[in-house]
Amino acid sequence: MTARELIVEADGGSRGNPGPAGYGAVVLDPATGETLAEAAEYIGVATNNVAEYKGLIAGLKAARELFPDAAVHVRMDSKLVVEQMSGRWKIKHPDMKPLAAEAGRVYPAGQVRYEWIPRERNKHADRLANEAMDAGKQGRQWQPADSSGSFAARDAAAARAAAAPPPSGPPGDATAGAARARAALTGTGAGRSTGTGTGGSGHAGQSDDALFPADEAVAAQARASLAAAGTAERESAAAARSGSGLAEASGDFEAEAAAEGHAGHAGHGGRGRTHAPAAEAPPAQGWTGPDMGAPATFVLLRHGETALTPEKRFSGSGGTDPELSAAGLRQAEAVAAALAARGTIQEIVSSPLTRCRQTAETVAARLGLSVRIEEGLRETDFGAWEGLTFAEVRERHAEDLDAWLASPKAEPTGGGESFATVARRVAATRDRLTAAHAGRTVLLVTHVTPIKTLIRLALGAPPESLFRMELSAASLSAVAYYADGNASVRLLNDTAHLR
């Protein structure tokens, strides 16, 4: 199985060169950009180059602590370190030779590749290095709480919020609950974060993936509780789990149709992280130890807009197969630039419909990859509803629409596909692709219903949850699939690249 991939960004600085120096390093999830670990240390008087090498070493060690078998992509703005560690430049300075040798021993050479990046793209590690130097100026070492993005600071705030009287509204506090769970697992009140001492490196808390093994028993219990609580409580609990408000059911699939009497969307508008097992996994007792080897990571890209999208019309696989509009082409270029900057996509698979192929080809041209077509990623066939707005369907086919909203087995008027049929098709496609791409990061360019179905199945959520997710044109979501059948939803409806 291909090793899990990690990104390490590192930097070092010296205020005087030589002068008071420090380093910073961060380990990132390449699929989501999530921070998995941070390290920083004040190292006394040293040169910039020494600090940069020490930052590299700390970053590699932090990555090894998380995943010893990982394939690591190091990104630094030090041309010297990148070229020397890549073997293209000789190491002549006596102070650099032992540091380079130490960095080379952290991982086998074949597991690490190096890339130079401009300084403006290395801001996270640069910030940590400056925080370390600031701490040194105060006569102390950097601590995780010094980091503006630390788990410790976030969890402490969440715990304080949880201690207050519960507010009105949906029950539960997912953020505070995660903080308490992390604290319970580690025996502290602030997650896994530990500071650095002289000669050591600091590691922020592990990602939620590592801290919370997937557990079907917990998911099953949650589903049972939701069912017993009734519709109002179920919607509130779903809102608490997903971190967003809910709205009445709307026909917000490929058309994102605005429903009269079912209007409104659960506006995520950003990143959501939820971790739960695949729907098909058998129940387990207690916390299980899942296969945390390298997953097949699917980055799910909804195609850009067509002329039908802003008009909120049903547009599935049984209609006119529209092209991207001018706005959709701009969206495709924007997401291509964002994915190129992230640099983690290894393969691209697309729905056969034109709007997806155009979006996929735009990304592929930017990344230098080819596009493979997968029939199973096509959108639902909406039958006689193709090209209509939700209001028009309500006016012409009210009984069929009510049945469709009430049951995943109901088909649109005129013999379209039910959501149950689509779920079977998408699940079979998922299984083929995960088997073929284990350990790799694959971009799937597809549509609203397939993406929502993949998210629903990964969460073990009921079919009606399809109506409870917002999915914007050209948005990114991500799911990681592990060999033991568990899945982790890492991203939902990210549109930051479009702003």
d(CA 338, CA 496): 9
Backbone angles phi, psi at 195, to 5 degrees: -80, 175
Q: CA of 62: how far to CAs of 113, 153, 256, 441, 443, in Å?
A: 16, 20, 43, 22, 27
Q: Which residues contact 115 (CB under 8 A, 6 or more apart)?
A: 73, 74, 75, 76, 82, 343
Token duo for residue 98 = 């032992």
d(CA 335, CA 160): 38
93-101: list long-range contacts, CB under 8 Å, 24+ apart: 93/49, 95/47, 95/49, 95/50, 96/49, 96/50, 96/53, 99/50, 99/53, 99/54, 99/57, 100/53
| Spatial contact of 420 and 463, defined as CB atoms under 8 Å apart | yes
Residues catalogued as catalytic: 303, 379
d(CA 487, CA 8): 24
Work out whether the CA dihedral 469, 470, 473, 478 comes out positive or negative: negative
Provide Rg for the chain, Cα atoms.
Answer: 24
Token duo for residue 1 = 């199985």
